[in-house]
A and B are shown apart, each in its own frame.
Chain A
Amino acid sequence: MLVAPQNKDRKLNIAFDEFDLDNGLHVIMHQDDTTPIVVVSVMYHVGSKNERPDRTGFAHFFEHLLFEGTANIPRGEYDKYVERAGGTLNANTWFDRTYYYEILPSNQLDLGLWLESERMLHAKVDQIGIDTQRSVVKEERKQRYDNQPYGTVLEETLKRAYTHHPYRWPVIGSMEHLDAADEEDYQSFYEKFYVPDNAVLIVAGDFDKNDARASIEKYYGSIPRGRFDINHDLPADVSLEKEVRDVIYDNIDLPAVIHAYRIPSMKHPDMYALDLLSKLLSEGESSRMHRRIVDDEEKALAVYNFLLSLEHPGIMMTYAIANMGVEPAELESAMDREVELLKSSSISEKEFNKLKNQVEAKYVNRFRSLTGIAEALASYHTYFKDASLMNSDIENYLKVTIEDIHRVANTYMNFDNRVALHFLPKPN
């Protein structure tokens, strides 16, 4: 990776090796000895979209349970192994996947491999663990959603943007469903999804490749394949047909306006143009919505546009918080005006080049940390079965034309394809 300092416009490249074990576990190794640390992570291809509608929140709850212990690790000891070794660990759950990782000093690679193999082979949860984590997750929900201004924006949006697809509920899910879950639910979820052929193992950092491979074979080679079919092709949701519009009263002081446009899956080629379009609208102070709605007209305190880029068709959200004394309707018409402008007229060469520079700078930042690299490799494999997109995906962005951006704006940013919400302060 080290390149002569005089070459200031060089191409970055993440070198990696990958292989499959007989049980279907995919392994990706990326070596970099700059810092004496190693990342061990596992991404399971299971998220909230794999939940039953009467057991929402299960995937995330399960992530909490998998810190409880295993056949060989007593309750409460899992994280201590990591901290005692001078490492750190965490996990997170998303709509489409669940991700666990340890960052360890480079002498502790085997510890990380052992810990994740324990989790994959024979995690163990008892009733004490289930009860404790249930109340921890309930507090997590209050802290991050219910007691947080605008904390329920995504939840309120999703339940109107989808009618059939499991994306209609948030990852944190329903606390009543967690209460209703019983031991059999846990066991069957674990046996179905936490199997080597539904996972990718990443090792990144300072390690010896041969040693690592031998340890991987040792700890993972005999873990049996899954015994149940996993259906990742859920039926697509029907189109909205007309704008879904609602008003929600919340514990807030400044109103917010939310537009959520349905967009295709992350695998659809239009996503690159949509990503640039999103940057055009709200990335940086000079972006269109920021400059005009926040800066010039002072209608919004803040405005963001972002893609919820998911394995199945996702949404593009514009989220604006009104400045003091500005009516939501006035803010909303400014948002719509920008979309109209985008659809009706072309964008300048200069503005377009700015987008490409922003993409390039963002791309460089992806290589900043080992944990970021490990997660990107895992995601590309999980969703695209092609980790080399880590290096080549930028080409897809650079291929986008001005016409593409104009076209996707007209294809997706339409009233009959969106949810429009006004979040208003609760009357006292």
Chain B
Amino acid sequence: MQDESLTRVASGELFRQSAPVAGPFPSINIGEFETATLSNGLTLIVVENHKLPKIAYQLIVSHDPVSELEKSGVADICGELLSRGTRTRSKSELDDRIDFLGANLQTSSSGVYGSTLSKYEDEFLSLFLDILLHPAFPEKEFNKLKLKAKSRLQSVRTEPSEIAYNICSAVVFGDNHPYADIMTPETLDNITLGDCRNHYETYWRPNCSYLAIVGDTTMEEVMKNVAPKLSLWNKRSVPAHQYEAPQLPDVPTICFVDRPGAVQSELRVTYPLDLHPANQNRIPAAIMNHILGGGAFSGYLMHNLREDKGYTYGVRSLLQIDHVCAEFRVSTSVGTEVTVSAAQEIFNEMDRIRVTKVDADHLVLAKNSMVGSFARSLENPQTLANRVLNMLRFQLPDDFYQTFADKLSRVTAEEIQVMANEYIQHERAYMVIVGDYDALSDNIKEAFPTAEIRFFDHFGRKV
């Protein structure tokens, strides 16, 4: 037992009064990688890392996105089907072996990802390649996947954040854009097994694909053990697709999905924009978004809506760069009674970053926080593989990541404001609300008298 005076003594120690002074920021080494291209056009990326006895394989098919419209979901079902049977192995045989090795393997519309302990790499690789190169598209598995997808779709209307995601995709990218394709029970019914097989034959080709191998292996081993098997994959010209850039709405537009009795509203502010990964503005624009709401606790939005007003558990802004169509999106969940106030505060902060030059403290904080996050990301060797993938896919300069921290540190407050005026606007934005319309409608009309209000169902279809 002791008395409180000890606490006072410790509390009063002078060295505690201010934060310790730190030495210089550690140097950042982004790491080593090797690449190779096979005769069929497949690009290999190898990141050696022998810290853990583990290897990860990530295959990315990188074709132009395909507009699926009334058959939305073909690429997804096709991707899921790949691991559900090959010419020589049934789904349960594949599952048995993958689980037996303690490995994991998933297929999706964008590729195949799997990892294994390195002592099982030979068998794992043969399963991985069998799935990639010899999928059987069994009818029984196709029907099972469809039933599963239907059950999942049935429950979408009870999942507010998923509904909000659907509405955002539908309105931001507009009709006829692949990013606006949303699987519904009707589009699912339209999909045939032939569509899936055809999608695979057309788009899953080595000449538009990348295989990143990360972990306890070497380029030499990869060239000896992996490359010869992959060269059996036949190249074929893959169709290109171009899409018109989505337009901004003419007036501010409120997109509503009514959920009577909801205790919270899902709130989004979003619109399309043009920001390719190779765009010179990428780094200053990312800092600008970090200041607005891309970071953790101290961004404008989080500080205002959470720490000052207590409206929400969290709010974030996303400036999603993309080679086809980029987008801006603010996301939050807020109590029904403060929905309109929260929306107004979001717009206030979007205005603030355009009108007011960011102060030195916010700017330094954002830059340091981003450099720090870059340094932390190096812990995972998969990060480097993903960066090399981006460099190759989007033709980024060879030194893009090497010079990233340096470029970031040189961005000025003036540039941030220029970026805000280039990429942030709410005069022609979509505000998506998934919430109780009756409880909100009067306030919304009063707060946003010029806005057009549209109603949607949970799949983003106009009602």
Contact = CB atoms under 8 A, between A and B. Distances in A.
**Size class of the contact patch on chain B:** 35 or more
A365 B91 CA distance: 26
B425 interface: no
Interface in A310-339: 321, 323-324
B150 interface: yes
30 contacts: A5-B218, A8-B118, A8-B216, A9-B119, A34-B379, A35-B376, A35-B379, A36-B27, A72-B18, A83-B297, A83-B369, A83-B372, A86-B25, A88-B296, A105-B25, A131-B310, A133-B310, A136-B306, A139-B264, A139-B313, A224-B10, A225-B2, A227-B4, A285-B98, A286-B100, A298-B148, A353-B100, A354-B99, A359-B102, A361-B117
Given A2-B50, A2-B51, A34-B51, A106 B307 contact: no
B92 A286 contact: yes
A321 B117 CA distance: 32
B459 to A, nearest CB: 14
Contacts of B297: 67, 79-80, 83
Interface in B248-266: 262-264
Given A107-B25, A139-B311, A286-B96, 13 more contacts: A5-B216, A37-B375, A86-B368, A88-B369, A114-B19, A224-B6, A253-B154, A254-B151, A298-B144, A298-B148, A323-B148, A324-B154, A370-B379
B463 interface: no
Interface of B: 1-2, 4, 6-7, 9-11, 13, 15-20, 22-28, 48, 50-54, 91-92, 95-96, 98-104, 116-119, 121, 144, 147-148, 150-152, 154-155, 157-160, 216-218, 262-264, 295-298, 303, 306-314, 333-335, 361, 364-365, 368-369, 371-373, 375-376, 378-380
A83 B379 contact: no
B169 to A, nearest CB: 20
Contacts of B28: 36
Contacts of A252: 155, 158
Contacts of B11: 71, 121-122
Interface string A278-295: 000001111100010001
B147 A139 contact: no
Nearest to A144: B313
Interface string A124-168: 000000011111111110111011110000000000000000000
B2 A361 contact: no
Contact of A285 (B24, B99, B376): B99
B147 A298 contact: yes
Given A324-B151, A364-B53, A135 B379 contact: no
Contact of B50 (A3, A76, A110): A3
Given A83-B365, A353-B100, A105 B26 contact: yes
Nearest to B17: A72
A164 B277 CA distance: 57
Contacts of B218: 5
A147 B333 contact: yes
Nearest to B290: A83
A1 interface: yes
A105 B375 contact: yes
A320 to B, nearest CB: 12
Contacts of B160: 147
Interface in A353-378: 353-354, 357-362, 364-365, 367-370
The 6 A-B residue pairs with the shortest CB-CB distance, nearest first, are A86-B372, A361-B102, A135-B310, A36-B26, A357-B102, A110-B20
Given A136-B313, A360-B117, A143 B16 contact: no
A251 B158 contact: yes
B154 A10 contact: no
Nearest to A294: B148
